[in-house]
Structure 1
Amino acid sequence: MKKTEFTSANCPVEVIDVEAAAFKVMLSFIYTGELTELNGDNAMAVLYAAKKYDIPGLVGPSLQIPISELRNVFLAYAQAGLYELEGFANDCLFYIDKNADTLLKSEEFLQIDQKLLCEILERDELQINEEISIWKAALRWADSKCRENGIESSAENRRAVLGPALFKIRFPRLSNEEFSKKIVPSDVLSKDEVIAIYLFKSLSNCHGISNGIFPMQFPTNGRICDRKDGTLLMNIEKMSAFVLEKVGSSRYSEKVYINGMPWKILAQIKTKNGSTDNNQKWLGIFFWCDTSKKDSLWHCCVRSATFRIISQKIEAKNSVGTLTISNFVLDNKLTNLGFPNFISFTELMDPSNNFYNREEDKVTLPLMSCGGAKNGENDFRSEQIQRHNFNWN
C-alpha cells in the first residue's frame, strides 16, 4: 500500500499500509458521512481501511461499486476471499469469466500470485475464444515473474515460476498445428509430456495412456464456452411435501453452462388466473439464467427451449408432456421464461399418468436448450413464442 500521512497539530502520524485517497475517503465518511470521492480506483483500498479500523458502515458502499469500474478485479477477488465475502467473490469471478479474453491480457493479471493463477486457469467457466490464449497469458505471467526475480526467461525458469499452474493449461485441446508450432518449440514441456499429448491427440482410445509409460497430466475436457446446446435435468425430491407448500415456493436444478451462460430449471408452485385457492395448484416450469448481476444492457438470446416431464415407467404409453418456446430474449428485467401453468398438481400426481414416482417421492423434469447464445449475440428484434399442447402419445 502507498504511504499516507495524517498531520495533527504538532506531529505527523504515518499510516504505511493505507492509500492516501482511501484514507481521505474514510475520514470524510467518519466526520461528514459523505462518500463523494469513493470510486472504482479506491474502492478496494477503502474496503481494506474499513476492515482495518472496524468501520462497518463503510464496507457496504465499498462493495456496491460496479465490478466493471474496479481498478483491479483480481485484487478485488483476493480481498473478497480474505474477508470471506462470498457473494462479492462470486461477482468478481463471474466478471473474470465473462471478460477472460481481455483480462488475461491486462497488466493487472501479471500482478496476481501463483495460487490465484492456478485458480483462474483451471476454471471451466472462463469464456475464451481459444485455449491457446490461456498458454499465451501464462507465458506472459511467467516472463513477468522472471523479470521481477531478476532471472532469465528461459524454458526452465518459466516452468519453475509457473509451477502447478502449468498443469491447469489444457494442452490436449489445442490443434495439432498450435501444439507443434507454439508449444513444443518453447521447451517448457518435457519430452514425455509432449509424447503423452501427441498420443492422446492421435489415438482414439486414450484410456490406457493415462496409466501407461507416458501419463497424461493435463486436463482434457473442454471449457463450458465450447457447449452450444445442452440438457438440464431436475429431480424434484420429496414431491409429496413440495405439493403442500404455499404458492410461490420454488425449487432449482443444478447449474449447467451452455455457451458460456449459467442456466437452471426453476420449478415453482402457481395458481391459475390469480386464484388464491391452494387446492388449485399448478406446477410452473421456467428456464432461468443464473447470473448474479446484470447491467442495463445485458441480454441473452436462445433459439429454443423444450420443457418436458419424464414418465417414471419405461413401459408407459402416456409418457411425456412437451411445451416449447422459440426465439426468446432474456434481459436484466426478464431473467426467466417458461410456463406458469405447465401442469396441474392433480394431473401431475395422478398415478395413471406415471409422472410421479411414489416409491422415490420425486418427479423428473428435463429441459432441452438448443443454441443458447452468449450475452449480446443474435439480437432478436421480436419475441416469438410457439406453444405446443401436451402430447400424451
Structure 2
Amino acid sequence: MGKLKLTRLTGMLLCGVVTTVQAQEPEGMIRTESGIDLIPGLVTSLRHDDNVIRDKEKSVSSWLSTIAPSLKANLVDGVNNYTLSGALRNGKYFSSSEDDYTDGYLDAEARLSPGSAHQLKFKGTGSWLHEDRGTGVSEGRGLVQDEVTRYNSQNGVVEYEYGNQGSTGKLRANARYYAKDYDNFRDVTQYRDHDLRQLGGGFVYQTGGAFKLVAEVASADINFKSVDLSGARDNQDTNYRLGTEWEMSAITTGILKLGYQKKDFDLEQRENFSGFAWETIVQWQPLTYSGFDLAAGRRAKDVDALNINSDYIVETSYSIGWNHQWSESLTSKLAYEYQTDAYNLLQTSANSLLRREDTNKVITAELTAKPKRWLQVTGFINLEDRTSTLGIIEFDRTVYGVEFKVTL
C-alpha cells in the first residue's frame, strides 16, 4: 500500500469521526453510539539537526518541522478488546529537501478471552517508513543518495496463554511473521529485502510471591529475497531463555532472561554464531514522583548495511533513565544509552584486518510541561557520539528542539 492509499484510509477514518461523534469526553475521548471510543491526537515539532546524514564532516545541517496526526479506535466487548490505530508523520527540512519524508502505519489488535484460563492476542501492523540518509542501507554513504531510503514492512503476531491468575503454571505459545521490502534504490536495496517466520513457546511458574520463573524457546527462519555478491544470508535463528519476571507493588517491576542463541547460516562459507544472549528491563520507583528505567541486553543480529563482509553483528546495549515529576504539570527525563556492535567475533579475533567494532553513545534530556489538559509541550536535546574502527562512519550529532502534543 503506497502513501496515497494510506492517506485516503486515514481520511476515511477521520470522516468516520465527524459522522459518528456524539459527545467529546473530558479525558480526550470521543464516544460513539456503536460503543467504539475514538482517540485522535496530533504531535508537531520543530528541531535542529547539525548532522543530518551522520558523517564526520557534518556536511548537512538543517532545521526540521514535523507533523504527525493519529487516530485510535477502541472497542471493549465484555472481556474482549479490539483496537485499530493509524498515523502519518511528515518531516520537512528547511535546508535539505532531499531528506524530506512521509511515514505512516496502520495497526490492528484483538485481545480475546474465550475462557477464564485462555488468553489470545492477534496483532497486525503495516508500516510505510524511511531510513535517514547515512543510516541502515546507506550507512557511511549518505551523500551518495539524493533522497531518503523508503521501505514498507508487515508484522503479524499471534500469542496464546493458558492458565489463570491463580494457576501455579502457565503455558505460552506464539507465532510471528515479519517482512521488509525497500521501495527505492533497488540496485542495492534488493539485497536487504527479507522475511522472518518464527514459532515459540514457554512455561511460566508462579512462585506465589512477586516473582515468576520463565522458560522460553523461539526459532525463526530468516530468508533474504536476493543474493548479494558475498553469497546467501538465509539463516535459522534459535533462542533458549531462562529467567524471571517480577512485580513488587509499585516500587519495582521487571524481567531478566538469560540464555543461549544459535544462528546457523545455510551457506557453509558463512560464520555461524552460538553464544550467550540475555535481556533485562527494570522499572524502579523508590518515590511516587521519581523513578528509574534500566534496560540492557546482548544478541546476534543480521547485517543491515551494504558492502559489509561480516555475516552477523553482536549487539550489546545498556541504558538508564531518570524520570522526575517536579509538579503536577512539570516533569523531566534524563537518559543515557551505550551500545557496541561487534562484527563476526571469530573472524575478527583471528584476523585484525577484518576487525570492526562500533560504539554509540546517546544522552537525552527532556523537560515536559502540561499547561492545559489537552496540551503537552516538551523541550529536548539529544547528544550522539559514534566511534568505530571503520573511520568512515564515525560522527557526532546534536539535535534539539520543542515538541507539541495535542489531544481533545
TM-score (norm 2): 0.22
**Structure number having the greater helix percentage:** 1
TM-score normalised to structure 1 length: 0.23
Structure number having the greater strand percentage: 2
